[in-house]
A = this chain, B = another copy of it.
Amino acid sequence: MTTLTEATIEADPTLPIIRITRDFAATPEQLFRAHTDPELFAKWVGPDRMTVRIEHWDARNGGSWSYAAGTDDAEFGFRGCFHEVRTDRIVQTFTFEGSPDNVSLETLTFERLDDGRTRLHAQSLCDSFEVRDQWLASGMETGVDQGYAKLDGLLAEGVLGR
C-alpha cells in the first residue's frame, strides 16, 4: 500500500463529490481529536497565512460549530452543524458565509492502516457539479496541504497525545 504523505484531492466522475485522502503518523483517536477539539483544530486547519478563531463549537450529535479564518486584511466565516460525531466517523454540514446558500455535507472517516498510520477520508457532497467544481478551482489544495502539514507537525510534537 502506498503511503499518502501528500493529500489526494479527487472529483468523483458521476457524483458532485470531492474526496480527499491523506495518511498520518497517527492513531484514529488522534485524528478524531484533531477534528473535534476546538483548540487543536484551530491550530492546524487552513493555509499558513490564516489564523483561525473558533466562535462556537459543540462537537456532538446535533451540535454545531462556526469559526472565522483571517489574515491581516480580511476574515472569512464558516459554519455548520455536527450531524454525527463518532470516534470512527464525523458527518457535518459546511457553509462558507460568503456563499450562504451553498451547503455541503462532509463525511470524515479514520481508517487504521497496518503500518500504524491512519488514513483520513474526507468526502464533501455538494448539490451541483457547478458548486463542486468552483471549490476545486478555488485553490483549496493550498489550505488542504498546508493544513495537513501543520497537523503532521502537531503529531510530531506530541500535542495530540496517543
Contacts and interface: CB of A to CB of B under 8 A. Distances in A.
Interface of A: 14-17, 56, 61-66, 79-84, 89, 91, 93, 95, 100-101, 103, 105, 107, 123, 125, 127-129
A54 to B, nearest CB: 14
Contacts of A63: 62, 64, 81
Contacts of A93: 81, 83, 91, 93, 105
Given A125-B125, A125-B127, A127-B105, A64 B81 contact: yes
A61 B100 CA distance: 12
Given A17-B127, A125-B125, A127-B15, A79 B103 contact: no
Given A16-B15, A93-B91, A84 B64 contact: no
Given A91-B103, A127-B15, A81 B79 contact: no
B95 A103 contact: no
Given A64-B62, A91-B93, A105 B125 contact: yes
Nearest to A66: B62
Given A15-B16, A15-B127, A127-B17, A79 B91 contact: no
24 contacts: A14-B129, A15-B15, A15-B127, A15-B128, A17-B127, A56-B62, A61-B79, A62-B63, A62-B64, A62-B79, A81-B83, A81-B93, A83-B93, A83-B95, A83-B103, A84-B95, A84-B100, A89-B101, A91-B93, A91-B103, A93-B93, A105-B127, A125-B125, A125-B127
